[in-house]
Amino acid sequence: MSPDRFAALWRSLLPIGRAGRDGGYVRHSWAAADLECREWFAEEALDRNLTVDTDGNGNLFAWWGDPTAADAVVTGSHLDSVPHGGAYDGPLGVVSGLLAIDELRERGVTPRRPIGLVVFTEEEGARFGVACLGSRLLTGAMDPARARKLTDRDGVSLAEAMARADADPDRLGPDPARLGRIGAFVELHIEQGRALVDLDAPVGVASAIWPHGRWRMDFTGEANHAGTTRMTDRRDPMVTFAAAVLAANEEARRQDAHATVGRVEATPNATNAIASTVAAWLDARAADEATLESLVDAVRRRADERAAHDGTGFALTPESESPTVEFDTALRDRIAARLGQAPVLPTGAGHDAGVLAAHVPTAMLFVRNPTGVSHAPAEYASDADCALGVNALADTLEELAC
Ligand code: GLV
Ligand code: MN
Ligand code: MN
């Protein structure tokens, strides 16, 4: 696959959902840009004579070979984004999947096993709060009744959002028959750090995903006047919130883990009024589950202590939790060998592959990202590296399906 071939298909997707302000992407599930991305995918798949179908969770599938046959080799990723995210996180795996099928056909390959390409819904959890929502629903890791009630920032439920997009929310839920037909899953993804840059390698293979999760933090206090309320009389939840953010940062550094508070909503959000409530979201990740638990416990304890000092309220509620994932070692080693001993690396980022890994032998390929930036507009991979990624994915599918 040439870099120009990659670039031509890549460019056809780029205009959809690009937000003018910073060149980042806003592609939230079931909203207009996501629906346009889905149409783009269906058209590209049909142009290739693939059979397109959708499960009850909005996960889109395209099949080369019999969609009802067992032991399929499936690749894919997602097309939704974080708010003002980069172009590559998710779409690179989908575009590469389409092009890997082109590449295999041009090689004259006839797969013995069906090859599937999937676009998972709401991988980022950017709209409804739960990461990898589509793959969790497919595998039964998420209760469909709970999913239907999840709401976005405007109070629109997942059920309502699906209905507005002509999708039936009553069909949400596990699909063991479909899952049972998948014999192997491989997700290609842009690397979200600089490990491959440091190793001078365009493509790597994943070993593991750090355990991680999201917790909602609710701080409550008393709304009052900024100019007349004595400092000693205040019950200001913003102060408790600030202390919790600092505690999370300190604890993550101390425990060699990662903690981020990237989203906050204050009420009433007025310059000259003490806030009545602050809601914020803690994203925490660590190399092992014991450290993750210890990190979150420490944040909870320190925020509780600070709330007692400030006369405020504090509550921590889990929204989305993902255990450690160790990818199938036999599959990983087989792919790394086929790719000429590609480097093997762990990641702190979550993926649908991590959810699938509990059910199906699963692997991931990473493509070098020279900026090392992800979830932001500076996320980048060169066309040349992306074309090498397509070839690596084609090699992998050929190894597994032929
Ligand atoms: C998804 O990209 C995540 O790791 O949050
Ligand atoms: Mn992401
Ligand atoms: Mn992703």
Q: How far is CA 142 from the centre of its chain?
A: 15
User: What gap in Å lies between CA 186 and CA 94, rounded to an integer?
Assistant: 11
The model's pLDDT over 55-86, given as tens digits with 9 standing for 90+, comes to 999 999 999 999 999 999 999 999 999 999 99
Residues 177 and 217 in one domain: no
Same-domain check for residues 317 and 384: no
Residues 6+ apart with CB under 8 A from 166: none
71 and 191 assigned to the same domain: yes
Q: Ligand 1: which of 92, 375, 379 to mutate, most ligand atoms within 8 Å of CB?
A: 375
**Domain span including residue 123:** 3-210+324-401
Q: 229 and 185 in one domain?
A: no
Average pLDDT value for residue range 274-282: 98
Residues 250-267 have a mean pLDDT of 98
Give the residue from 300, 322, 344 where a domain finishes: 322
Q: Are residues 45 and 136 in the same domain?
A: yes
Q: To test ligand 1's pocket by mutation, which of 78, 81, 124 has the most ligand atoms within 8 angstroms of CB?
A: 124
Asked if 107 and 205 sit in the same domain, the reply is yes
- Let me know whether 26 and 82 are in one domain: yes
CA–CA separation, 165 and 121 (whole Å): 13
- Cα gap 60→212, rounded to integer Å: 26
Tell me if the pTM is above 0.85. Answer: yes
Q: How far apart are CA 145 and CA 347, in angstroms?
A: 31
Residue 133: Cβ within 10 Å count? 31
Tell me which ligand sits closest to the C-alpha of residue 25: 2
User: Alpha helix locations (H) across 150-288?
Assistant: 158-164, 176-180, 195-199, 237-254
Shared domain check, 287 and 221: yes
As a whole number, mean pLDDT of residues 119-135 equals: 98
Backbone Cα Rg of the chain: 22
Average pLDDT, the chain: 98
CATH code: domain of residue 305: 3.30.70.360
Of 322, 340, 370, which one is at a domain's C-terminal end?
Answer: 322
Structural domain count, the chain? 2
Residues 6+ apart with CB under 8 A from 170: none
CATH of the domain at 171: 3.40.630.10
Q: What region does 68 belong to: left with phi over 0, alpha with psi -120 to 50, or beta?
A: alpha
Q: Above 90 in pLDDT, residue 116?
A: yes
Q: For residue 378, give the 3-state DSSP assignment.
A: coil
pLDDT at 282: 98
pLDDT score for 181: 98
237 and 386 part of one domain: no
| CA 324/CA 381 separation, integer angstroms | 27
- Name the band, by pLDDT with cuts 50, 70 and 90, for residue 21: confident
Is the pLDDT score of 20 beyond 90?
no
